[in-house]
Structure 1
Amino acid sequence: MSKVVVFGANGQLGTCIKMLNGDNNLIYFPHEAEANILDVEVLTKVFAEQQPSYVINCAAYTAVDKAEDEVELAERVNVIGVKNLAEQCGQHGAVLIHVSTDFVFKGDVARPLTEADKAEPISVYGQTKLDGEKAAAAIEKHFVIRTGWLYSEHGNNFVKTMLRLGAERDEVRIIADQVGTPTYAIDLAAFILEIINRDSQAYGVYHYSNEGVTSWFDFARAVFDISETQVKAIPIRTDQYPTKATRPLYSVMDKSKVKETFSIEIPYWRDSLIKCITKLQQ
């Protein structure tokens, strides 16, 4: 395997890459002082010392609602930070693997969205992630991987929140009219490492989530069912749960391109959810 540097190593996805990596010392996880993608001087030093063939960027500003007020901070991390990484990768001939989001889409078309569909964000977060994609694409050797509804045993995510609320309350109200596909971070991490293992040069934008389609409400019901949590789930509409940022109502992504290009099978979302909850309950 080539030398790899992972930024954002302490988040869900970065942690899953660490887990799958095991004792492989060819993957380098910068410590906190080295991991600031906004500090060009620090990045220059890390790249000079590590001489990576691949850089995985899991670092992102992901507070969707707070981004509406913290526009400058979201732009710095999601756009300027990516630009800094892309420039370093370009100078060193490294491949940049950058993780993006289904929130680059407006979400008003009720069919699986392809990489060729127009990206039209409806939130500050979504716009900064789209601008970050463009920054990554400024160099030839780049993979942009759009994903969505990410969860795992690590960090804060919908699955762990539902398990907590299910244990604390008699009933939980969940949005039922936003439709998408969950992504188990372990599955995404395995795919990213597969790109590197194959030394693929099929650069560009790819969609990756688990297979299938669901709503947040049905996702929550699956969490309660699999975990045998006794709680009443109540479906509500988006307009009954106002948030600062507008979210896409439909963000199911078509994965034909990634499956055909890499000849991979992607796990069904409920199968991966069972694996995650089983680990959480051990």
Structure 2
Amino acid sequence: MLTVAITGSEGMLGTTLTSTLKDVEVIPLTRETCDITDPTLVDQVIRNTRPDVLIHCAAMTAVDLCESEQFSAWKINAFGTTNVARACNTYGTKLISISTDYVFDGTLDRPYHEYDEPAGALNIYGKSKWAAEQAVRAHCPNHLIARVSWLYGEQGPSFVHTMLRLADGTRDCLKVVNDQVGNPTSTDSVASALNVLIHRPELVGTIHLTCEGEATWYDFAKAIFRIKGVEQKVLPCSSEEYKTPAKRPKNSRLEKLVLKECGLFEMPKWEDALYKFLKKI
């Protein structure tokens, strides 16, 4: 039976993966059992467990916090991933490393595909995740970098959880950004895709695993309330009106070109995945 280790197994994507991967032996790795910023510990854990595949979910993903705690962002996302990549390469483990749409600057007038070269991330989170991608490529040739975007899942926190929390009846209306566009994606959708990809050892390189279709944050919020039957007025606003510590790309859309080239599965439409998720929680 295939053995699959998961770093960040208590995070949003890691939790979904741990509970949904099928026909494999899952080795959940937490910050306590495998602190990725400790290279000696990472090497020891991988040496002792010898997984066939390691899905690297552990990361500092709080985008705005990365701006104020830049040392931690670089240490966890870049240095930590370097440690994981080196250990996987040493012990012959296939590395599937989770990355993000934020490695792109968002200026392209079409969705980004896997062969587009990131021109410069706009924030520390994106920069540190791009450094993580480069570390994976340099230190572990047997890898798959899986980019996701606008992720939400049962564990949270996520945009979905925030919207439902804010729609508590105390606000006449919510202003939501309407000039950033991306692919809302559920952890269930990503986990289903990875459940296939872990059994495809020949696939290496970079792959996009976002849901199909596109939306703005405003569109996303309206869909959440419509599906949940929540009476909440939502007004569109610009990024300039809703300032955040970290600048976000205007275009976060990811094309699934490699999935098409390999004749693999299609990712679900974002509205369908959202409906399925909201009916479950």
TM-score, with length taken from structure 1: 0.95
One-letter code of the match for 2:52? Answer: S
Distance 1:145-1:165 versus aligned 2 partners, 3 A rule? same
Please give the alpha-carbon distance, in whole angstroms, between the structure 1 residues aligned to 2:9 and 2:30.
9
Contact 2:94–2:201 (8 Å) recurs in 1: no
- After TM superposition, the structure 1 = structure 2 runs for residues 109-188 of structure 1, keeping only pairs within 5 Å, are 109-119=108-118, 120-138=120-138, 139-168=140-169, 169-188=171-190
Contact 2:4–2:51 (8 Å) recurs in 1: yes
Deviation, structure 1 residue 163 = 1.2
Please give the alpha-carbon distance, in whole angstroms, between the structure 2 residues aligned to 1:40 and 1:268.
39
Deviation, structure 1 residue 32 = 4.1
Aligned residues with identical type, % of pairs: 36
Deviation, structure 1 residue 128 = 0.4
Please give the alpha-carbon distance, in whole angstroms, between the structure 2 residues aligned to 1:148 and 1:264.
18
Please give the alpha-carbon distance, in whole angstroms, between the structure 1 residues aligned to 2:204 and 2:6.
18
Encode CA deviations 1:35-88: one digit per residue, 9 max, x unaligned. Answer: 211112221221122111111100001121121221111001110111001110
Structure 1 unaligned residues grouped into runs of 5+: none
Q: Which has the higher helix share?
A: 1
TM-score, with length taken from structure 2: 0.95
Taking only aligned residues, the RMSD between alpha carbons, in angstroms, comes to: 1.4
Distance 1:77-1:108 versus aligned 2 partners, 3 A rule? same
One-letter code of the match for 1:254? Answer: E
Please give the alpha-carbon distance, in whole angstroms, between the structure 1 residues aligned to 2:68 and 2:40.
29
Q: Corresponding residue for 2:8?
A: 8
Encode CA deviations 1:237-268: one digit per residue, 9 max, x unaligned. Answer: 00001111111001111112123325102100
**Greater Cα offset, 257-266 or 134-143:** 257-266
Q: Which 4+ residue blocks in structure 1 deviate beyond 4 angstroms?
A: none
Please give the alpha-carbon distance, in whole angstroms, between the structure 2 residues aligned to 1:254 and 1:32.
32
Corresponding residue pairs, total = 278
**Greater Cα offset, 45-54 or 7-16:** 45-54
One-letter code of the match for 1:37? Answer: I
Deviation, structure 1 residue 179 = 0.4
Please give the alpha-carbon distance, in whole angstroms, between the structure 2 residues aligned to 1:28 and 1:262.
30
Q: Corresponding residue for 2:218?
A: 217
Contact 2:4–2:24 (8 Å) recurs in 1: no
